[in-house]
Structure 1
């Protein structure tokens, strides 16, 4: 009985010691293996190359016209204002394009601004790409290209990657024939805008403008019409309710009309195409007997001549 007990006790001690050694030694191995794997993953992540910023050249090719330059129009992230100065090579290409369009009145230059969904659109246009295209168009117009021979578009391109916060060449170009039904399109655009003008409402003391998606499209339509029709004017007309004197309201409505005009100019509508005026309380669209009606009368209408 004594021998058996001693034998069993020895076996039990051996099992306990073996178990302790196993867990101590093998847990160190497992921990070492896990640490090595973590270190390897971290090392791989640290050494993975960052994606290259995107860069698009200034390039226009259309059989009898062919010009390209590595430089292009550049924009800060979430901005529709092109960075100046523009490369001399790009300017040289624009002057060549100007001569080509002068000799080919049936051609137009399509300007497509690119934008990413990660960017904020703080412009009056439906998307940042269209706003960028409009700013480039204005630059071309300043160098002598008729706006009637330009078209502007916006295109979502989420693969855009900046270099130090600057997008390199987020705009492309192509030459095309003028649309055969362009005059009909422009006439329909005029009717659309005059029938349903852009209206901006103001609360007392308000000095900011936040446009809806529908209102942004109206701005784009107005801009398109102004580009296509020589001598066309954007009319910005201020209105008020009948609270206070007529003279005060005339002045107040003109101030609001000028404010909207400045907003449109900042967003790329050429200042010489905009006329601001005031009708004060003289053209209400609702009763002035209620607060709701007076709120509707405190407005600025933006239409075309």
Structure 2
């Protein structure tokens, strides 16, 4: 009988000990976690302001686009205020086709550019542009740029609204038709060159502009595509050069997708070393041959 009581007492003590440990190590940790990193002041308010000083449009919302330090992807979720502002912007631009919006992305000191774009600000502006297009805004009424900024509104490794929005007048000559765009892109296709053995790229301002023309052309046409063809010099084997050309073409394809061009509108291929545009007996000639050419097709 005494053994039975001892057994029951042991079970009771184990239950008490488990209850205590659960309270001490679980509940108190949850209490600490709920207050860890809490800032009673909250994130700073950097309102999203869209104002056309040359027109009659102004909208302001306390919510804004957010980006993590050294990142160019928009941090979800976007607040209702952002969506309201962009929908108002669409209504305004639809009613004023002679106006367009320049999206200037900003980046701060110490940020590392992990994108394929010339700078992190430009990469951020492209992401915002893609969002605006997804909300129904005409891509012809949007342009991109980027620059460094000395002071940005930061909170918990996050930038709130590292962007500038500037309205401009669209001159009649700048409103291009699909035929005129096709003529420009066929006569002077976008060519991206690579250093020896490399497949990464950084586009110049002129190349960025031509990429914008390509994106606009594909937006305006439903049955046309773009062809990305990789080329190399002859410093390696034919098999290696073919694979390197294909790798470069695939990299450019991902770049185009990131810019907002639908994946199904992009085809890739490699010519390897078979179609040089210059002799391979000099470094200058080999540099010209290491290229990827983007053309438009039906």
TM surpasses 0.5: yes
- Out of 159, 173, 177, the position equivalent to 2:169 is 177
**Structure 1 residue ranges, 4+ long, deviating more than 6 angstroms after superposition:** none
Alignment of 1:146-165 (within 5 A): 146-165=138-157
Task: Provide the rounded CA distance (Å) in 1 between the counterparts of 2:152 and 2:241.
Answer: 48
> 1:58 corresponds to which residue?
48
Q: Which residue number corresponds to residue 124 of structure 1?
A: 116
| Corresponding position of 1:13 | none
Residues 297 and 151 of structure 1: CA distance in aligned 2, closer, same or farther (over 3 Å): closer
Q: What is the aligned partner in structure 1 of residue 210 from structure 2?
A: 222
Contact preservation (8 Å) 1:238, 1:253: yes
Root mean square deviation of aligned Cα: 3.5
CA separation in 2, counterparts of 1:249 and 1:196? 21
Contact 1:240/1:281 (<8 A) preserved: yes
Asked whether the equivalents of residues 246 and 268 of structure 2 are also in contact (C-alpha less than 8 Å), the reply is yes
In structure 2, the gaps of 5 or more residues are 1-41
Task: Describe how 1:76-115 pairs up with structure 2 within 5 A.
Answer: 76-115=68-107
Q: Distance in 1 between matches of 2:194 and 2:101?
A: 32
The structure that has the greater radius of gyration is 1
In 1, Cα distance between equivalents of 2:244 and 2:121: 35
How much has 1:71 moved relative to structure 2? 0.6
Gapped runs of 5+ residues in structure 1?
Answer: 1-51
Q: CA deviation at 1:210?
A: 5.1
Structure 1 residues 130 and 244, CA gap change in structure 2 (3 angstroms): closer
3-state secondary structure, aligned to 2:64: coil
> Size of the alignment, in residue pairs?
243
How much has 1:110 moved relative to structure 2? 2.3
Q: Tell me which residue corresponds to 1:209.
A: 200
1:164 deviation in Å?
A: 1.0
- Tell me, yes or no, if the aligned pair for 2:278 and 2:285 is still in contact at 8 Å: yes
TM-score norm. by structure 1 comes to 0.65
The answer for the alignment partner of 2:249 in structure 1 is: 257
Following superposition, the deviation at residue 295 of structure 1 comes to 4.7
CA–CA separation in structure 2 for the residues paired with 1:113 and 1:129: 4
2:188 pairs with 1:194? yes
Offset at residue 283 of structure 1 (A): 0.9
> Partners of 1:293 and 1:173 in 2: how far apart?
41
Q: Kindly tell me: are residues 140 and 193 of structure 1, through their superposed partners in 2, closer, same or farther at Cα, counting changes over 3 Å?
A: farther
Partner of residue 261, structure 2: 270
CA distance, structure 2, for counterparts of residue 116 and residue 285 of structure 1: 41
Secondary structure of the 1:197 match is strand
* Residue deviations 1:176-214 (CA, integer Å, cap 9, x gap): 321344258x97x947992783212442xx5x5153xxx
How far apart are 1:144 and its partner, in Å? 1.1
Match of 1:237 in 2: 229
Cα deviation, residue 251, structure 1: 5.2
Measured after TM superposition, the shift of residue 227 of structure 1 is 4.5
1:291: how far off?
A: 8.1
Structure 1 154/296 Cα, relative in aligned 2: closer, same or farther at 3 Å? closer
